[in-house]
Amino acid sequence: MSEKPLPFVITDRRKFTPDGQPREGAEAHEPASAVAAAPETAPAPKVVEMRAPAVEPAPPEPVVSSADAAPENEEPAGPTAEQMEQSLRAFNATAERLDLAIRAANPGAEHPPALTFESLIQSVYMQAVLQLGGGTQPGEQPQVDILGARQSIDMLGILAQKTEGNLSKSEETLLESALFELRLAFLEMTQALARSAQQRNPMNPGANPPAGPTPTPGRPGPSLIR
């Protein structure tokens, strides 16, 4: 069966008449698709909140009471008696192992003598003698450490003061004799150095040679160790 052509329907969709008046029923014929849909509300931009990194609070400082605080002028406490005893035992054990190793490396070697107060005085005495130029071979110029010799002599003087009334008769005699001899030797050496300086600079006014022993003939005067 042949289809009948449908008649064309012309619908005037204009909203206004030629003279500018609103056309009646224009809105009724306007399809829903022609009506502009109200724009949806645009989503608000997302605000990224910047937060500072979390910082842990510092622990509170310990409160020190006035009773626990040490006085500023108080001297630090020394080692206890137990600590001193432990250090002494450890020292003696190490020293004994050292002696055994030395004797093993040197068969027949004698055991070193124990250190005594007399040996301490003799050690400082010999050190001061060498600092005053002792032991110089004939014909050689003595090398003198006058400041070192003075310190060594002062060291013996401190020992005499700190041990007064606590020494045996032999220890006291040895210490006094060492001090007496070294002080005289120190005086002679300073006078010899003054004469040697005057001979090198005879134009120095007022430099009178001090009284004292004259240099040994054929032996040069002493020189200071700088």
Give domain status of residue 175, yes or no: yes
Q: Residue 26's closest CA among 38, 16, 35?
A: 16
Give domain status of residue 64, yes or no: no
**Residues forming beta bridges with residue 223, ordered by sequence position:** 143
Indicate the number of domains in the chain: 1
How many Cβ atoms are within 10 Å of 215's Cβ, its own excluded? 14
Mean of pLDDT over the chain: 76
Give domain status of residue 6, yes or no: no
- Does residue 1 carry a pLDDT above 60? no
The pTM score is 0.55
Percentage of the residues of the chain whose pLDDT score is greater than 70: 58
pLDDT digits 0-9 by tens, 49-81: 555 555 566 666 666 555 555 566 777 889 999
Give domain status of residue 146, yes or no: yes
How many Cβ atoms are within 10 Å of 153's Cβ, its own excluded? 20
- Does residue 222 carry a pLDDT above 70? no
pLDDT digits 0-9 by tens, 89-146: 999 999 889 888 888 888 887 777 788 999 999 999 999 999 998 887 787 887 899 9
Mean pLDDT, range 164-177, rounded to an integer: 96
Q: Which domain holds residue 191?
A: 117-203
Q: What is the pLDDT of residue 81?
A: 92
Give domain status of residue 11, yes or no: no
Look at 31-40, 61-70, 190-199 and tell me which has the smallest mean pLDDT: 31-40
- Six-digit token pair at 166? 């606590």
pLDDT digits 0-9 by tens, 37-52: 445 555 655 655 555 5
Give domain status of residue 187, yes or no: yes
Give domain status of residue 215, yes or no: no
